[in-house]
């Protein structure tokens, strides 16, 4: 109901009086608990990354629901906003969460470009931003490096998957060249740069004619075949890519239909993560990819997480998106427990800095003290049938990033 | 040269699918004078119905195409009834009304079908690749191309060889003369809007296996159709065909030849065409 409510609020459509009345009543019927701590969850509920956003919401709610709706012994009032396809929809939604709902922490955030813009808003209000997905290379503001005091991520830097797998790809292709292709936006640039920079530093060659990764218009491109056949003409030994959400489905299906179909495909794990894998079907089999999580990890925290995830009625294995958002709730749980008295942004932020080692389904991790993002293992996975469903099966550990 | 063979084929397939979508829009404008901004919504609705009806068997595929066409026709009927009352009040009122219908329609579609991009399941024979000149090519695209050629041929024959088609063309040219020979042009308007809706639904169904259908489908296809109608000349079906093929080729060959300009290529080409065009395209009525 909240989803319908938010969507209706967005457009001119709110003029459809009956529907608007219905949702308005539904919204008003849940009065806010005055003692509750209000947390904002900003994720894509529409657009290319809607499935990612829904996973992140499911992960956060899984933790919240399995802890009686409380974090750190305090009741949580969770307000959800729609990030859409990027800053154009995300910034107004974030402003609404910060100014009207006066949330004490903001979590979620699917896209790197969104994080880049919203981070400025939360920092200005001294509200911790606990991102659970993409983290961009923050550009400097007015000549000064970005103030990251109030910025935390339970996920990764967008360039880390590429950095983590480059060594493995180099070992596999030897002297062969690798074609790099990705979507033309902040997230795509970061993901591809991580790979191409590390790969060329290790002595690898790119098959792209100009020695730079090819970027396809985002989110406009749904027809990848022309790009793929053009890439095939360079005779690459392997292809490295990053796409996520709906674009990932189109890319993988069309890859299997193109001249490249017999060329090994390496990818940032988002290409085959979550519901997109079901939609890709057998076309995804054999894709080798890198991520900070695999549902087949054997640690105890992961087994408990998987059990709770299935018990909540999810038929597909959990994703890194759900896992990182679950961890965001876990971080808030421990931080809120450590705050004495009234919760304020600065007090909560200080407590987040002191949570220490976090036991997580991905294996234990902790915040890097200055950059505020996890120091964690990266894993090589391969898409294989795991029982009746396709899954990203763990192949081997790759490396720990950021390297210390 | 070989590099451009598959993108070229792809561009023509894409262009013909767009032509089917845009033919309805241009006819509705030419004959009925209705600038239908809900056209993209009808295409998306057709796509959603096709994506949810087709379950991987041939009968379900046939049912999907039929249901999408029927839904499009019904939508066209609703638009005809809605715009009939605005006759004589100019394009702006119609544009506003159909735009409102488009917004409500788009929201209903995402409420019913969700925000995910959907693709239909196709029979195994279509969910494979064929080899054309040594390159693999998806069978579903080839089938869509074939269907598009057949529909275009039938459409051309209907428009030029039947009484109904002649009446439509006559209404585009001079509706008072049509009234003079004892045919109510408003009946022609309604028929054209229904047929235009049916074409939109059909185009939606044919595009879905290739592009998928999602919240972006309606605005994207409306924009492309408008570009085609404007470039091809308002009300001109042959003009729309030429323009649609051009758009298809720009979207495939153009974007890989000049990748740096890919996002601007289509609208850039349109602007260039409009600025430099001295004479109407073939078949353009004025």
Could you read off the pLDDT of B205-253 as tens digits, one per residue? 998 888 888 888 888 889 889 889 888 887 778 888 889 988 888 888 8
CA closest to B134 among chain A residues = A259
Is the confidence at residue B198, as pLDDT, over 80? Answer: yes
CA closest to A8 among chain B residues = B107
Q: Which two tokens stand for residue A253?
A: 């299906």
pLDDT band of B111, cuts 50, 70, 90: confident
Q: Which two tokens stand for residue A218?
A: 């985002």
Per-residue HEC secondary structure of B2-22 comes to HHHHHHHHHHHHHHHHHHHHH
What was the pLDDT predicted at B17? 87
Q: Which of B7, B100, B116 to mutate to test the interface with A (most CBs of A within 10 A)?
A: B116
pTM of the model: 0.77
Instruction: Evaluate whether A278 touches A319 at the Cβ level (below 8 Å).
Output: no
What was the pLDDT predicted at B278? 59
Q: Is it true that domain A160-291+378-401 has CATH number 3.40.190.10?
A: no
- Of chain B, the percentage scoring pLDDT greater than 70 comes to 94
CA closest to B106 among chain A residues = A13
Residue B146 near chain A (CB below 8 Å): no
Instruction: Evaluate whether A300 touches A322 at the Cβ level (below 8 Å).
Output: no
Among the partner-chain residues B136, B216, B262, the one whose CB lies closest to the CB of A257 is B136
Q: CA–CA separation, B148 vs B154, rounded Å?
A: 10
∠ CA(A83), CA(A88), CA(A89), 5° rounding? Answer: 30
Residue B174 near chain A (CB below 8 Å): no
Residue A98: DSSP 8-state:
I
CB contact under 8 A, A227 and B255: yes
Kindly list the residues from chain A whose CB atom is less than 8 angstroms away from the CB atom of residue B119: 249, 279
Q: CA of A352 to nearest chain B CA: how many angstroms apart?
A: 34
CB contact under 8 A, B136 and A261: yes
Residue A131: DSSP 8-state:
E
Q: CA of B138 to nearest chain A CA: how many angstroms apart?
A: 6
Q: Which of B210, B218, B256 to mutate to test the interface with A (most CBs of A within 10 A)?
A: B256
Phi, psi of A62 (to 5 degrees): -60, -45
Q: Which two tokens stand for residue A157?
A: 């830097």
Domain A32-156+302-372: which CATH number of 3.40.50.2300, 3.40.50.300, 3.40.190.10, 1.10.1660.10: 3.40.50.2300
Distances (CA, A) of A171 to A166, A168, A377: 9, 5, 20
Intervals of CATH 3.40.50.2300 along chain A: 32-156+302-372, 160-291+378-401
For residue A74, the SS3 value is strand
Residue A42: DSSP 8-state:
E
Residues in CB range of A396: below 8 A, 6 or more apart = A379, A380
Residue B252 near chain A (CB below 8 Å): yes
Q: CA–CA separation, A311 vs A253, rounded Å?
A: 31
Residues in CB range of A143: below 8 A, 6 or more apart = none
∠ CA(A153), CA(A155), CA(A157), 5° rounding? Answer: 85
Q: Which of B2, B136, B251 to mutate to test the interface with A (most CBs of A within 10 A)?
A: B136
Residue B155 near chain A (CB below 8 Å): no
Phi, psi of B240 (to 5 degrees): -65, -40
- Give the number of beta-carbon pairs within 8 Å between A and B: 96
pLDDT in tens, chain A (404 residues): 444 444 444 443 434 444 444 444 444 444 456 678 999 999 998 777 788 899 999 999 999 999 999 999 999 999 999 998 889 999 999 999 999 999 999 999 998 889 999 999 999 999 999 999 988 878 777 778 889 999 999 998 888 999 999 999 999 998 999 999 999 888 899 899 999 999 999 999 999 988 899 998 876 677 888 889 889 889 999 999 999 877 898 899 999 988 898 999 999 999 998 878 888 888 999 999 999 999 989 999 999 999 999 999 888 889 999 999 999 999 999 999 999 889 999 999 999 999 999 999 999 999 999 889 999 999 999 999 887 888 899 999 999 988 76
Average pLDDT over residues B89-112: 88
Residue B89: DSSP 8-state:
S
Instruction: Evaluate whether A28 touches A20 at the Cβ level (below 8 Å).
Output: no
Q: CA of B182 to nearest chain A CA: how many angstroms apart?
A: 41
What was the pLDDT predicted at B117? 76
- Neighbouring CB atoms inside 10 A of B275's CB total 7
Among the partner-chain residues B7, B214, B251, the one whose CB lies closest to the CB of A229 is B7
Q: CA–CA separation, A308 vs A97, rounded Å?
A: 29
Instruction: Evaluate whether B44 touches B213 at the Cβ level (below 8 Å).
Output: yes
CA closest to A44 among chain B residues = B115
Rg (CA), chain A: 21
Query: How many helical (H) and strand (E) elements, i.e. helices and strands, does chain B have?
Result: 12, 2
Considering only residues A380 and B184, tell me which one the structure prediction assigns the higher pLDDT. Answer: A380
Average per-residue pLDDT in chain B? 85
DSSP string, A220-235: T----HHHHHHHHTT-
């Amino acid at each position: 109901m909240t989803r319908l409510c938010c969507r209706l609020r967005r457009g001119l459509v709110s003029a459809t009086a009956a529907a608007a009345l219905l949702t308005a009543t539904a919204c008003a019927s849940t009065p806010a608990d005055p003692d509750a701590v209000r947390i904002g969850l900003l994720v894509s509920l529409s657009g290319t990354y809607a499935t990612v956003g829904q996973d992140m919401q499911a992960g956060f709610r899984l933790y919240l629901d399995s802890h009686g709706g409380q974090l750190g012994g305090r009741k949580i009032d969770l307000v959800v906003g729609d990030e859409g396809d990027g800053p154009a929809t995300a910034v107004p939604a974030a402003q609404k969460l910060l100014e009207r709902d006066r949330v004490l922490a903001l979590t979620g955030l699917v896209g790197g470009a969104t994080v880049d813009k919203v981070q400025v808003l939360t920092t200005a209000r001294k509200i911790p931003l606990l991102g659970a997905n993409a983290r961009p290379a923050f550009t400097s503001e007015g000549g000064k490096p970005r103030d990251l005091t109030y910025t935390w991520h339970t996920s990764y830097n967008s360039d880390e998957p590429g950095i983590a797998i480059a060594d493995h790809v180099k070992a596999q292709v030897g002297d062969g060249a690798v074609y790099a292709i990705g979507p033309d936006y902040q997230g795509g640039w970061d993901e591809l740069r991580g790979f191409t920079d590390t790969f060329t530093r290790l002595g690898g060659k790119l098959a792209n004619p100009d020695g730079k990764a090819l970027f396809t218009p985002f989110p406009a491109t749904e027809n990848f075949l022309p790009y793929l056949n053009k890439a095939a003409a360079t005779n690459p030994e392997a292809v490295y890519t990053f796409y996520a959400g709906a674009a990932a489905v189109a890319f993988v299906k069309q890859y299997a239909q193109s001249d490249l179909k017999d060329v090994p495909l390496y990818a940032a794990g988002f290409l085959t993560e979550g519901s997109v894998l079901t939609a890709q079907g057998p076309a995804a089999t054999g894709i080798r990819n890198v991520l900070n999580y695999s549902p087949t990890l054997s640690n105890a925290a992961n087994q408990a997480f998987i059990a709770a995830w299935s018990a909540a009625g999810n038929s597909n294995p959990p994703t890194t998106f759900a896992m990182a958002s679950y961890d965001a709730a876990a971080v808030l749980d421990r931080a809120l427990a450590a705050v004495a008295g009234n919760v304020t942004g600065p007090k909560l932020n200080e407590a987040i800095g002191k949570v220490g080692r976090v036991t997580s389904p991905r294996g234990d991790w902790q915040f890097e003290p200055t950059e505020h993002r996890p120091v964690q293992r990266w894993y090589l996975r391969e898409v294989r049938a795991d029982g009746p469903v396709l899954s990203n099966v763990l192949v081997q550990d790759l490396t720990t990033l950021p390297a210390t | 040269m070989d590099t451009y063979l598959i993108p070229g084929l792809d561009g023509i397939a894409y262009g013909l699918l767009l032509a089917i979508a845009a033919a309805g829009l241009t006819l509705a404008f030419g004959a009925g004078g209705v600038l239908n901004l809900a056209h993209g919504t009808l295409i998306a609705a057709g796509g959603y119905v096709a994506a949810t009806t087709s379950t991987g068997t041939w009968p379900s595929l046939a049912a999907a195409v039929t249901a999408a066409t029927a839904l499009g026709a019904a939508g066209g009927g609703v638009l005809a009834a809605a715009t009939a009352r605005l006759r004589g009040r100019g394009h702006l009122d119609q544009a506003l009304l159909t735009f409102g219908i488009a917004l409500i329609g788009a929201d209903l579609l995402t409420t019913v079908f969700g925000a995910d991009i959907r693709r239909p399941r196709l029979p195994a024979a279509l969910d494979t690749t064929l080899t054309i000149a040594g390159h693999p090519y998806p069978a579903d695209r080839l089938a869509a191309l074939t269907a598009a050629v057949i529909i275009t041929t039938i459409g051309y024959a209907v428009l030029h060889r039947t009484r109904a088609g002649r009446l439509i063309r006559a209404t585009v040219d001079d509706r008072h003369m049509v009234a003079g020979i004892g045919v109510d042009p408003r009946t022609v308007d309604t028929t054209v809007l229904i047929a235009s809706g049916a074409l939109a639904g059909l185009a939606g169904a044919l595009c879905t296996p290739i592009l998928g259908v999602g919240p972006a489908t309606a605005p994207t296809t409306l924009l492309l159709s408008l570009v085609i109608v404007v470039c091809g000349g308002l009300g001109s079906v042959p003009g729309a065909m030429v323009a649609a093929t051009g758009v298809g080729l720009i979207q495939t060959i153009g974007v890989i030849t000049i990748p740096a300009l890919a996002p601007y290529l289509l609208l850039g080409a349109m602007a260039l065409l409009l600025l430099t065009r001295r004479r109407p395209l073939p078949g353009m009525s004025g």
